[in-house]
Structures are given as C-alpha cells and as structure tokens.
C-alpha cells in the first residue's frame, strides 16, 4: 500500500508539473509572455479560477489556450480525484488494520505484554519473538510501533499506563508483562495497574536508578533487573573469567547453532511425574538437565540421576530445538 501511494503521488506531481511546463512554454513562444506572466496565465487556466487574460490573446494563442484548458483542467480533476482516493484508502486501511489487530489481541491467551519499545523493550521483544511465544508490544510512539510492526510483531499504539490499554491488551488473560518504559516512575505506575487488574500476572522490569529497585518490588514486580549492575558484572567477568562468559553466551544466544536453554514444568499428567531424573535423561539423551527447581522454591544444580521429580517441578534444560520439544511434550503430557 505504501509503495502504491508513493507511485501515485509521484505520478500526480509529474502530471501537474508537465502541464505547467507546457503552458509556460506555449505562452512564451506564441504570445511572447514573460516567464512569470506565462506561469500565472497557465495557473489560472488549469485551476479554472476565472480571472481575465493577462494580455489579450491572439487567434493562435486562443487555440493553444483551448487545448490547454482541455488537457490542464482534466489533469487537475484527475489529480484531485486521485488524492481523494488515496486519502480514503489510507483511512480505510488504518481502520481495518486496527480492527484486525484488535481481533488478534482478543484471541490471545497466556501471552506476554511488552510495555515500551525503547532500547530495553526492543531487545526483550526480539527475544520473545525468537522464543516463539505469543506477545504484543505497547508504545505510544507511532514510529516505534511501526518498527515493531515491520518486524512482524503484534502492536498496540496506546499509553501503557492506562487501565483501558492494559485491558485491551488482554492483561486479564496474559501470562506475564515486561515494564520497559522510559522512567522508573512510569514503570511503577504500569506495574501497579497491571497487578491490580491481574494479581496472578508475572511482572518483570528494569530499574534505571539504584534506589528504585525496592520501590518497583513493592509495587508488585516479581523480578527487577538493573542494566548498569548487570553490565558492570559482565564486564568484570569478561576480564577474569572469559571462558565462563563464553559458556553463558553460548547458553543464552546459541552462537548460531540450534541450541538453547529452556525451562519446562512437570505436569500432573506427565509420564515422568514421580519418577527419577535418570529415566528422563535416558529417554532424552540429547537434552542436558542443568537444574531442578522444586515447587517450594529450592533449586538443585547439576541434579543426580536419582533425583525424583514431582508434578509442579521445573527443569532447567539445554539442548537442540527438536529434543527440547520432545521433552516438553513428555513433561506436559501432550
């Protein structure tokens, strides 16, 4: 649609300029008008304003002006019609586009909401997109929303701090929310609104200021990350433990291969509920179990094969995509 509008606008501009050039050249050659008089005569002719002739026209000049009226007025009517059609098409596209997005959002369930598409929100959204989970991006900046839409993301142009916006984003059906707005105060406001509407919602956010972490936690955030402390920690680790950092990057970004780290919850109907971890490892040898998080919050790293897994436990595993999907199916009973 954008390319079609651009081509149509270019064609209209070329048509109008061509008409003006033809009129100016004709009046200068036939009547000997000055450049400005020729331009003015052409302009009042093709716009049909009805002013009198700048100078009396000769017989040849009237013949030329007759053809200029037929061609120029037709060109102007066509240009006005094309511009009107373009405006109507853009309005209809915007209206139907919003309705389509609204229908998509209404069908979302157990999805994630990213509030803010700045530097932090953008990378968070890309990571959710890479994970293949349903999510949508909320931002009041139309240019940011357009960039997110171009990346294939579901978007909503609105103020994330308004309860109506969060309801429209399906916060009552959502699984989690990322508060990544510009300031800590805005993030506190979003967290308070989201938690009030859906107390079961998992909320993660970032803290720009060092003293804002506790305020964000009191507002209801489940996890608060400080980009500055994380960056400082990684910088120091990169110097003193570069191989550890390399392994972490491998686990987090897969370094171009189909290997990733995932968390999988054991469902009550799973065939492995109540069995030892060794049975899981034996049937899914391509997946490495890094840790087991029990329902009471205890986490065991590098668990032994005799560790018993129960319904509600979460396994932190690493492996290729196909192996992870097969293990997820076995643990969820699907």
Between CA 96 and CA 102 the distance in angstroms is 10
pLDDT of residue 294: 86
| Residue of 211, 214, 165, 218 lying closest to 191 (CA atoms) | 218
First to last CA, the chain: 42
At residue 237, the 3 state secondary structure works out as helix
- How many Å apart are CA 156 and CA 112, to the nearest integer? 13
- CA dihedral sign of residues 241, 242, 245, 246: negative
Structure tokens at 330: 């076995």
Task: Give residue 255's pLDDT.
Answer: 43
Please give the order of strands across the beta sheet that includes 299-301.
Answer: 259-265, 314-320, 288-293, 299-301
**Structural domains of the chain sorted by starting position, each given as residue range(s) with its CATH number in brackets:** 2-103 (1.10.287.70), 109-230 (3.40.50.720), 257-332 (3.30.70.1450)
Neighbouring residues of 292: CB distance < 8 A, sequence distance ≥ 6: 277, 299, 300, 303, 307, 309, 313, 314, 315, 316
DSSP per residue, 54-73: SS---HHHHHHHHHHHHHHH
Over the chain (334 residues), the average pLDDT of each successive run of 10 is 70 86 90 89 82 83 86 83 75 64 84 93 91 91 90 91 92 94 92 94 89 88 85 81 70 56 83 82 77 84 87 85 81 74
Name the E strands within 231-272. 259-265
């Amino acid at each position: 649609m954008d390319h079609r509008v651009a081509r149509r606008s270019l064609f209209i501009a070329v048509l109008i300029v061509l008409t003006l050039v033809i009129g100016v050249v004709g009046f200068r050659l036939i009547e000997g008008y000055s450049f400005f008089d020729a331009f003015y005569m052409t302009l009042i002719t093709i716009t049909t304003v009805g002013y009198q002739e700048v100078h009396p026209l000769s017989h040849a000049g009237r013949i030329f002006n007759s053809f200029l009226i037929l061609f120029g007025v037709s060109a102007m009517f066509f240009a006005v019609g094309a511009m009107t059609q373009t405006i109507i098409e853009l309005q209809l596209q915007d209206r139907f586009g919003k309705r389509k997005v609204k229908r998509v959002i209404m069908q979302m369930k157990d999805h994630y909401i990213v509030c803010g598409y700045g530097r932090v929100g953008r990378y968070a959204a890309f990571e959710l997109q890479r994970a293949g989970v349903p999510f949508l991006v909320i931002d009041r900046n139309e240019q940011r929303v357009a960039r997110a839409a171009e990346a294939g993301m579901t978007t909503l142009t609105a103020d994330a701090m308004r309860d109506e916006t969060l309801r429209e984003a399906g916060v009552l059906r959502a699984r989690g929310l990322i508060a990544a707005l510009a300031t800590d105060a805005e993030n506190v406001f979003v967290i308070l609104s989201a938690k009030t509407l859906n107390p079961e919602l998992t909320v993660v956010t970032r803290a720009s200021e060092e003293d804002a972490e506790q305020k964000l936690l009191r507002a209801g955030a489940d996890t608060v990350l400080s980009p500055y402390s994380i960056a400082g920690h990684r910088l120091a680790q990169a110097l003193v433990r570069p191989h550890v950092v390399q392994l972490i990057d491998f686990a987090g970004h897969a370094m171009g291969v189909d290997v990733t780290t995932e968390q999988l919850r054991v469902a009550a109907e799973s065939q492995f509920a109540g069995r030892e971890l060794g049975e899981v490892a034996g049937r899914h040898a391509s997946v490495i179990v890094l840790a087991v998080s029990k329902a009471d919050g205890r986490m065991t790293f590098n668990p032994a094969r005799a560790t018993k897994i129960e319904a509600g436990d979460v396994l932190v595993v690493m492996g290729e995509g196909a192996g992870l999907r097969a293990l997820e199916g076995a643990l969820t009973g699907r």
